[in-house]
Amino acid sequence: MGKILMKGNEAIGEAAIRAGCTNYFAYPITPQSEVAEYLARRLPEVGGVFLQGESEVAVSYMIFGASACGERVFTTSSSPGISLMSEGISYIAAAQCPAVFVNIMRGGPGLGGILPSQGDYFQATKGGGHGDYRLLVLAPASVQEAAEMVMQAFSLAEKYRNPVMILGDGLIGQMMEPVAFPEHLATPPVNKDDWATNGMANRGSQRPNLVKTLYLDPEQLNAHNLTLRAKYQRMRQEEVRFEPYNTEVDYQVLIVSFGTMSRVCRTAIDNLKAQGREVAMIRPQTLFPYPEAAVREAAAKASCRVVLSVEMNMGQMVEDVERSVRGQRPVEWFGKCGGEVPTPEEVMEAVRGLLAR
C-alpha cells in the first residue's frame, strides 16, 4: 500500500495492524465507530481478532488480560467511553502492562455532544482513574500524524510498560487526508518473558510470572509507587515532543495549541503575518510529558508580550502553560467547546484583542 486517502479512524485501525497489533477490543461510540467498522473487515484478513465487549468497562479488562499475557493490544473509544475505561486504565498502569488507548474526543461533560472537543485534557494528562499513575499522551494534528503516533505508541508502551494514550478530537477521526504507513515505525515486540503470564512452557521457565495490582504491605506499595514515579520522570526526560511554528521571527504573541485546533491557529498565524502581525506557536505533540522548557523559552523571547492557550475546551491546558511560563508573561485562554471548532477569524480576533490591551 502506497499513499492512500483515509479517514483518521480508518488510518488508526490500519496503523495498529502495521505496528503488529492484531488484538482489538472495543465498544462502539460516535465519533470513532469507524475504527471498529474498519477493523471488523480488516483484522480477519491478517489473522487478527476484533471482539466487541459488552461495555467499555469490560473492554478495559479485556485489554488488561491480553496485555498481561504479553500480547500487543489496543482499543479506541470516545470521551464517555474512556471515562468507563478509566478504572481498568488505572489497573493496567499499576500492573505495568503495555497497552494503547485511543480517545477520539467529543463534547462533554456527561453525554455532551458528538462533535469535536478537547475536553478530556485533564482526564488524559492528570489521571482519570484513581491513584498515582500517568499515561504517556500523544496528540496528533493530522491523519498522517495519527497513523504514525499509533505505530509509535506500541513500542513506547512496551519501552515503559505503561499505557499510552492517543488523544485526538472528533475531527481527527472523521476527516480524510492522504496517508502512508512508514515501515520503519513498525518495531518487533520486545521480549516479555520476565514479567508476562505468557506460558511457562513457552519461555522454558520454572517460575510462574504474576501480574498484580494489590500491595497490602504499605512499604511495598510505597516502593511500587516510587518505581512508577521513576518511570514517569524518565518519560519527562526522554519523550517530550513539540513542533514550533513561526518562532524564528520577533513575535508579540505566543500561541500554545494542540491537535486539530493548532491547524486553525496556523491559518490564523499565516493570515496575521500577511497583515503585518507576527505570532508564533508551540504545538505540544506530547501532552504528558509536557514540553515545559519549549513553552518557557518561547515565552521568554524579548518581543513576546503574552501567551495565548487556544483549546477546544474551557481552558484545561492553561495551568500547564502557566506552570511552564512561570509567571514571566501573562497567560490567556481562548476556546470553545460546544463542538464548533473556532475559526481562523475568531483566533485572529482573540489575538488582536490581546494586542490592543
Provide the H-helix boundaries in the chain: 8-18, 33-42, 56-68, 79-94, 121-126, 143-160, 170-174, 200-203, 218-238, 259-274, 292-299, 318-325, 344-355
Closer CB to another protein, 3 or 352, in the complex: 3
CA dihedral 17, 18, 21, 25 (to 10 degrees): -30
Cβ 65 to another protein, closest distance in Å? Answer: 30
Among 58, 195, 267, 323, binds another protein (CB under 8 A): 267
CA-based nearest residue to 22, from 2, 1, 51: 51
* 114 contacts another protein (rule: CB under 8 A): yes
Closer CB to another protein, 247 or 267, in the complex: 267
Among 170, 259, 284, 289, binds another protein (CB under 8 A): 170
Closer CB to another protein, 69 or 180, in the complex: 180
* 5 contacts another protein (rule: CB under 8 A): yes
Query: Judged by CB under 8 A, how many residues of this single chain contact another protein?
Result: 33
Cβ 30 to another protein, closest distance in Å? Answer: 4
* 326 contacts another protein (rule: CB under 8 A): no
3-state secondary structure of 25: strand
Contact positions with another protein (CB under 8 A) in 331-350: 339, 341-344
| Phi and psi based region of residue 204 (left: phi greater than 0; alpha: psi -120 to 50; beta: remaining) | left
Cβ 354 to another protein, closest distance in Å? Answer: 20
Q: Per the structure block, which three cell numbers stand in for 85? A: 475505561
The Cβ of residue 216 has, within 10 Å, a number of other Cβ atoms equal to 6
Cβ 16 to another protein, closest distance in Å? Answer: 14
Stretch that binds another protein, among 53-61, 95-103, 257-265, 285-293 (CB under 8 A): 257-265
Cβ 258 to another protein, closest distance in Å? Answer: 14
Cβ 155 to another protein, closest distance in Å? Answer: 25
Among 48, 113, 244, 330, binds another protein (CB under 8 A): 113
The Cβ of residue 47 has, within 10 Å, a number of other Cβ atoms equal to 7
Q: Per the structure block, which three cell numbers stand in for 4? A: 492512500
What is the x/- site pattern for another protein, positions 16-55, by CB under 8 A? --------------xx--x--xx--x--------------
Contact positions with another protein (CB under 8 A) in 55-94: none
* 14 contacts another protein (rule: CB under 8 A): yes
Distances (CA, A) of 154 to 71, 173, 187, 232, 240: 11, 19, 8, 17, 17
Running DSSP on this structure, what letter comes out for residue 43?
A: G
Closer CB to another protein, 238 or 349, in the complex: 349
The Cβ of residue 200 has, within 10 Å, a number of other Cβ atoms equal to 13
**What is the DSSP secondary-structure string of 287-333?**
EES--HHHHHHHHTSTT--EEEEEESSSSTTHHHHHHHHTTSS-EEE
* 264 contacts another protein (rule: CB under 8 A): yes
Closer CB to another protein, 141 or 235, in the complex: 141
Contact positions with another protein (CB under 8 A) in 171-210: 171, 174-178
Closer CB to another protein, 163 or 173, in the complex: 173
d(CA 71, CA 259): 29
Cβ 264 to another protein, closest distance in Å? Answer: 5
Distances (CA, A) of 316 to 31, 54, 312: 22, 32, 9
Closer CB to another protein, 18 or 159, in the complex: 18
What 273-276 contacts at long range (C-beta under 8 Å, 24+ apart), as own/partner pairs, is 273/246
Distances (CA, A) of 17 to 131, 158, 160: 32, 16, 21
Binding site for another protein (CB under 8 A): 3-7, 10, 14, 30-31, 34, 37-38, 41, 113-115, 170-171, 174-178, 260, 263-264, 266-267, 339, 341-344
